Chain A
Amino acid sequence: MKKLANLLETKQVSSQEIVEHYLGEITRQEPMLNAFITVDQEGALTQAQAADQRRAENRPLSPWDGIPIAIKDNISTRGLNTTCASRFLANYRPLFDATVVRYLKDAGLPILGKTNLDEFAMGSSTEYSAYGVTCNPHDRSRVSGGSSGGSAAAVAAGEIPWSLGSDTGGSIRQPASFCGVVGLKPTYGWVSRYGLVALAPSLDQIGPLATSVEDTAILFSLLAGADPKDASSAAAQTFEVPAWDERCIKGLKIGVPEEFFGKGLHPEVEQAVRRGLRALEEQGAVLVPISLSTNEYAIDTYLTLVTAEASSSLARYDGVRYGERVGAQDSNTMFAKSRAAGFGPEVKRRIILGTYVLSASHYEAYYEQAQRVRTLIRQDVLEAFRHVDVIITPTTPTAAFRIGAKQSPLEMYLSDLFTAMANLSGIPALSVPCGKDSKGLPLGMQIMGKHFSEALLFRVGHFVEKTVGIRGCCR
């Protein structure tokens, strides 16, 4: 990205040319990938021309002025459809920009379009999108992961240099891992959620995806900061991209939790992660075997809380103000029928589950219990960080699976096995490519850190990327 910024700075290339290049890639690849729900050709070109005008007048808004970006379609963009990949919001055009979108516009980034996801970010493959699955650019018979599958695939395929995703239980990291790109789930509260259509507000976090650790860090620096419009946003500073100094690896204590290297983990994934760990060790890092025993309960806890919050967050979609209305004798039947017609199967499943775990007779056994376990998981994680600087695990148990391969919802839920813990405890987690398997599919390493330790995660990730990573997009 620095190269691109330099070309713009020295006027060797214009923003319009860059945007046209990516629009061309989109036109060429979209029929095969389906990474975008909306492409805003006209809007992006207008913004590019404005960026070029600013460059001509030597008053760029930022070094990245004129470099386009794509936004996951559950993040509000003023005047540009924000569908959440749901039929309910097929024609929903927000009246306001999400805070992060405003930040990007303030930095001069043209918004090229809105990327595909599982409906309301519920899923791990984009197969639950009302607009069809996004294929994995490395193997189009496979999924791109999810829910931010569109954002990851578009970056991997070179349709866009970087993108925004959202991560509630792994929705940035898992598709980043599947598509061979870098993705960050930031510390809860460091990036404003204002304008992110809620799945589970206590876990949701917007984050960057890009082809390199450095670009991911640059994009993160545009997003991070306290937002007075988001009461859950932390009173945190802005983020500065760190210097890429490898000396920090020496003596770094890396926790390697045994629970993440056991049953269910594909041997090739384990090999790739261990290779990365060895490289770090050779650079002077100290590998510390640790135990995160509460991870056993992470998926159950996560599902209980996500479904509970989602059942409430999604109750407003009624067929009157949103979506298609299905006629009926009385208003309650009309609401019910409209919801039955408007939501896809996974959303319905989670609403039913969430309603159940919050109901008076089950609240204590499920929701309250899950809250207690969440506290234990957080304590477990914080305790681990008293002894180590970062924790490294595989991002996912396997490489990208085939479209249609996961038949049961439970199988799909297990995709979040290694990632949900970071959301439950609010810590940052970075997924960095760490090689490919024998089929040529990318594999990802997850680096987790203490709250607000993103700079360290990027440094470690940068080293991993240099030694065992895969660079560039696949074409």
Chain B
Amino acid sequence: MISYDTVIGLEIHVALLTQSKFLCSCKASFGAPPNSQCCPICLGLPGALPLINEKAVEYATKAGIALNCQINHFSRFDRKNYFYPDLPKAYQITQDTFPLCTKGFLEYYVDDRLVKTEITRIHMEEEAGKLIHSGASIVDSEYSLVDYNRAGIPLIEIVTAPDIHHPQQARLFLEQLRLLLSYIGVSDTKMEEGSLRCDANISLKPSGSNVLGTKVEIKNLNSFRALERALEYEERRQSQVLNQGGIIRQESCTWDDRTGKTMPMRSKGDAPDYRIFPEPDLPPLHLDPVWVELIRATIPELPLERLKRFEAEYGLSRYEATFLVNYPDFGELFFALACQCRAYKAIVNLLMGDYARLAREKGHLDPQRLAELLTIVDEGQITQTQAKDVLEDLFSSHLSAREIVQEKGLEVMGDPESLRPILRQVLGANSELVHRFQNGDTKLLGFFVGQVMRVTQGKADPGVVNRLLRDELGK
């Protein structure tokens, strides 16, 4: 058995979150009644002409900058001709020869290793309409309905170089890409709504070889899991075929999530000839370098930078930092709290623990209220156990942490003079056990502490109680 290296490249379509469509002023929002957001332009009516939405160019440029791309000051639109009922003009306006962005890369962690995947290009194009078939597909449907609301929504297509080496890496890349795009706010990146779609190319080559094998394109990957599973399946299938002396056919296939298999769609021979040529209705795009710099200035801190900052400046672990980066709302909350409380570990423990559970149900708390809780704990006024109760109350009431502590009478009893009588009372009631303790059964100390805590309803400071008990019992 020869061993093979896997070579994977991805093509990702991202719907941009602009208010209006790419080439007309129709709304681009999701979920409106069918065909309520269209006009002569996005319906492709004879005589209507396209116009470029500057916001779409801005968002595409933003994505390019965030992905370390070269932003081309000259780019051009092309017509990609193909016939399908969801494409009103029977051609798609896209960028072929001169894309907006080229030569970028994305860095991300695979296990503990920082890896880099090259972005070959990013170009802009228009979305097609949406077909709803009465049957399973267009060929075996009695009828098909078209919703043109989606037609003309701006897309960017991000193409990676074939330098991803295993299915898990592909998933990690896509997850990081999605996070990056949501950080810069150019897309809502919902795979389930189709605003982030991924096609994958995969081929195998003998280990160490420089010659790429024949690739297979997998379409219809609707989730991160589907991407990884489909690539794993195809990796296995191709290596079996090759090991049995077979050859891989260059083809496009679709992933069936139910059966867990890829199904061939068309081979290279049937690949359509798109007859791409420059779009005569749109002049080339000339970007002002100053404008590009203005867009660059709007790029916020990106996930990887932020991860490094959490680790370096706040001393968080990779695990903790990753949590705060992957959930930017928690990351922002962390920053707000860290301004007021320097117990960074305590903050992140709180956020990742009970707070995360409660916040997912009920929404985030005002950082001020949460900061007060952290301060009280930090000052030792209440215990960790009490803090949990207070946290629950913070979600259900409008009181501040201090008010809750007061109302519930939760202040820590740390004063030895008030604790000593309680202590003596507990020991007096358990004279038999005291005797056993004094004969060497030191494990009973925990029992006594527990009894004191019970009597004080958890308010006693366990440290003080411990010290006092040793005093009393040592006598």
Contact = CB atoms under 8 A, between A and B. Distances in A.
Contacts of B276: 358
A230 B49 contact: yes
Interface stretch (A51-59, A106-114, A132-140, A190-198): A190-198
A316 B89 contact: yes
Interface string B87-108: 0111100000000000000000
Contacts of B51: 228-229, 231
Contacts of B195: none
B44 to A, nearest CB: 6
A371 B280 CA distance: 12
Contacts of B138: 331
B468 to A, nearest CB: 84
A230 B47 CA distance: 10
A308 B277 contact: yes
A188 to B, nearest CB: 11
Nearest to B83: A315
B283 interface: yes
A232 B283 contact: yes
Contacts of B278: 371
Interface in B72-96: 79, 81, 83, 85, 88-91
Contacts of A311: 81, 275
A404 B49 CA distance: 36
Contacts of B338: none
Interface stretch (A34-42, A93-101, A414-422): A93-101
B48 interface: yes
Interface in A315-353: 315-316, 318, 320, 330-331, 335
Contacts of A331: 85, 138-139
Contact of A194 (B49, B85, B275): B49
A195 B41 CA distance: 10
B46 A76 contact: yes
B73 to A, nearest CB: 18
Contact of B81 (A89, A193, A201, A312): A312
B280 A316 contact: no
B88 A232 contact: no
Given A312-B91, A320-B85, A367 B277 contact: yes
Interface core residue of A75, A315, A320 (most chain B CB under 10 Å)? A315
Nearest to B79: A312
A65 interface: no
Given A94-B47, A194-B48, A308-B277, A316 B90 contact: yes
Contacts of A198: 46-47, 281
A315 B46 contact: no
Contacts of A355: 275
Contacts of A95: 40, 45
A121 to B, nearest CB: 12
A307 to B, nearest CB: 12
Interface string A359-402: 11001000100010000000000000000000000000000000
Given A230-B49, A335-B83, A318 B277 contact: no
A315 B47 contact: no
A202 interface: yes
Nearest to A320: B85
Interface core residue of B40, B44, B85, B280 (most chain A CB under 10 Å)? B280
Contacts of B45: 94-96
A201 B280 contact: yes
A94 B39 CA distance: 12
B280 A315 contact: no
B50 interface: yes
B263 interface: no
A318 B46 CA distance: 13
Contact of B44 (A202, A308, A316, A367): A316
Contact of B47 (A195, A358, A359, A363): A195
A315 B91 contact: yes
B46 A82 contact: yes
A232 B44 CA distance: 17
A155 interface: no
Interface core residue of A84, A92, A198 (most chain B CB under 10 Å)? A198
B282 interface: yes
A313 to B, nearest CB: 8
A232 B280 contact: yes
Instruction: Bin chain B's interface residue count.
Output: 20 to 34
Contacts of A194: 47-49
Contact of A98 (B47, B50, B85): B47
Contacts of A430: none
B266 to A, nearest CB: 14
Contacts of B50: 231
Contacts of B273: 359-360
Instruction: Bin chain A's interface residue count.
Output: 35 or more
Given A312-B275, A359-B273, A197 B47 contact: yes
B427 interface: no
Nearest to A204: B280
A326 to B, nearest CB: 16
A309 interface: yes
A85 interface: no
A197 B277 contact: no
A69 interface: no
Interface string B262-284: 00000000000101111011110
Interface in B197-229: none
B46 A92 contact: yes
A273 interface: no
A447 to B, nearest CB: 26
B52 interface: yes
B277 A315 contact: no
A192 to B, nearest CB: 9
Nearest to B44: A316
A222 interface: no
A366 B201 CA distance: 32
B20 to A, nearest CB: 15
A162 B161 CA distance: 59
A232 B52 CA distance: 12
A200 interface: yes
A359 B51 CA distance: 27
A229 to B, nearest CB: 6
A198 B49 CA distance: 9
Given A355-B275, A358-B277, A229 B83 contact: no
A232 B278 CA distance: 13
Contacts of B83: 315, 318, 335
Contact of B280 (A92, A309, A360): A309
Given A320-B85, A335-B83, A231 B49 contact: yes
B277 A312 contact: yes
Contacts of B52: 231
Interface string A39-82: 00000000000000000000000000000000000011000001
Contacts of A75: 47
A371 B52 CA distance: 24
Interface in A155-210: 193-198, 200-202
Contacts of B79: 312
Contact of A231 (B85, B88, B282): B282
Interface string B10-53: 00000000000000000000000000000010001111111110
Nearest to B82: A315
Contacts of B46: 76, 82, 84, 89, 92, 94, 197-198, 316
Given A308-B277, A312-B91, A316-B89, A196 B47 contact: yes
A32 B32 CA distance: 53
12 contacts: A76-B46, A82-B47, A84-B46, A94-B45, A96-B48, A232-B280, A308-B277, A316-B90, A335-B83, A358-B81, A358-B275, A363-B275
Interface of B: 40, 44-52, 79, 81, 83, 85, 88-91, 138-139, 273, 275-278, 280-283
Which 3 pairs between the two chains have the least Cβ-Cβ distance? A315-B90, A358-B275, A202-B280
Given A315-B81, A316-B44, 9 more contacts: A76-B47, A95-B40, A229-B51, A230-B49, A231-B51, A232-B49, A232-B283, A311-B275, A358-B81
